Amino acid sequence: MTGQATTSPAKADPSTLTLEFRHAHRLVDHAAEGVQTWQISLLADDESVAWVRATRGQFWKAHNLGERMADEESLAAVAAKQLFDDDGQFRPEYENFVDLPGNVLVVDDLHIAAPWDDPWIVAGLTSSIIDRLTDNQYAVVLPRVSGDTEAALLTEAGVLLSAEPFSDELLIIDTSLAAPEEAAHRVREHLRSRARYGGADPLSEDWDEDDDEGEEVLTARTRAVLHLALQELSDQAWQEVSTLGDQPAERSAGGLFGSLPRVTWHQDGSWRRQMARAFDDLAADCSSNAEVEPRSTGEEMALHLGIARAQDLTRNRPRLVRDTVAGLPEDRADFDWGTCSDVLFQDHDVLMLFDHSLDGIEQPDNEIHQSLGMVNLAPHDWFAAFDPDQARDPDRGFRHP
Which tens digits make up the pLDDT trace of 341-361? 999 999 999 999 999 889 999
Top-confidence residue, 199 or 116: 116
Phi-psi domain of 43 (left: phi exceeds 0; alpha: psi -120 through 50; beta: other): beta
Residues 256 and 357 in one domain: yes
pLDDT number for residue 332? 78
Q: Which domain holds residue 328?
A: 220-390
Q: Is the pLDDT of residue 207 over 60?
A: no
Contact 36, 25 (CB under 8 A): yes
pLDDT number for residue 148? 81
pLDDT number for residue 63? 75
Q: pLDDT exceeding 70 applies to what percent of the chain?
A: 92
Question: For residue 289, is it within any domain?
Answer: yes
Residues 168 and 257 in one domain: no
Residues 280 and 149 in one domain: no
Q: Is the pLDDT of residue 73 over 90?
A: no
Q: How confident is the model at residue 2 (pLDDT cuts 50, 70, 90)?
A: very low
Residues 138 and 176 in one domain: yes
Q: Is the pLDDT of residue 201 over 90?
A: no
Q: How confident is the model at residue 140 (pLDDT cuts 50, 70, 90)?
A: very high
Residues 141 and 226 in one domain: no
Residues 247 and 311 in one domain: yes
pLDDT number for residue 203? 52
3 state SS of 9: coil
Question: Could you give the number of structural domains in the chain?
Answer: 2
Residues 188 and 319 in one domain: no
Q: Is the pLDDT of residue 401 over 90?
A: no
| Spatial distance between the Cα atoms of 56 and 72, rounded to a whole number of angstroms | 11
Q: Is the pLDDT of residue 202 over 90?
A: no
pTM higher than the cut 0.85: no
pLDDT number for residue 215? 66
Q: Is the pLDDT of residue 67 over 80?
A: yes
pLDDT number for residue 250? 82
Mean pLDDT of 227-242: 97
Residues 164 and 244 in one domain: no
Residues 143 and 244 in one domain: no
Q: Is the pLDDT of residue 291 over 60?
A: yes
Angle, to 10 degrees, between the axis of helix 220-244 and the axis of helix 269-287? 160
Question: For residue 157, is it within any domain?
Answer: yes
Question: For residue 367, is it within any domain?
Answer: yes
| Spatial distance between the Cα atoms of 186 and 19, rounded to a whole number of angstroms | 20
pLDDT in tens, 324-338: 999 999 887 889 898
145 contact partners, CB below 8 Å, separation of at least 6: 151, 152, 155, 169
Mean pLDDT, the chain, whole residue set: 89
pLDDT number for residue 11? 67
Q: How confident is the model at residue 97 (pLDDT cuts 50, 70, 90)?
A: very high
Question: For residue 206, is it within any domain?
Answer: no
Question: For residue 123, is it within any domain?
Answer: yes
Residues 241 and 377 in one domain: yes
Q: Please choose, from the candidates 117, 167, 160, 164, the residue with its C-alpha nearest in 3D space to the C-alpha of residue 140.
A: 164
| Spatial distance between the Cα atoms of 154 and 146, rounded to a whole number of angstroms | 10
* DSSP secondary structure letter of residue 34: S
Mean pLDDT of 190-202: 73
Question: For residue 246, is it within any domain?
Answer: yes
Residues 321 and 178 in one domain: no
pLDDT number for residue 251? 77
Residues 18 and 166 in one domain: yes
Question: For residue 64, is it within any domain?
Answer: yes
pLDDT number for residue 4? 40
Write down which residue in 196, 228, 248 finishes a domain. 196
Q: How confident is the model at residue 196 (pLDDT cuts 50, 70, 90)?
A: confident
| Spatial distance between the Cα atoms of 293 and 9, rounded to a whole number of angstroms | 40
Angle, to 10 degrees, between the axis of helix 150-160 and the axis of helix 119-133? 70
Write down which residue in 136, 161, 196 finishes a domain. 196
Q: Is the pLDDT of residue 95 over 50?
A: yes
Q: How confident is the model at residue 92 (pLDDT cuts 50, 70, 90)?
A: very high
Mean pLDDT of 10-39: 83
Question: For residue 208, is it within any domain?
Answer: no
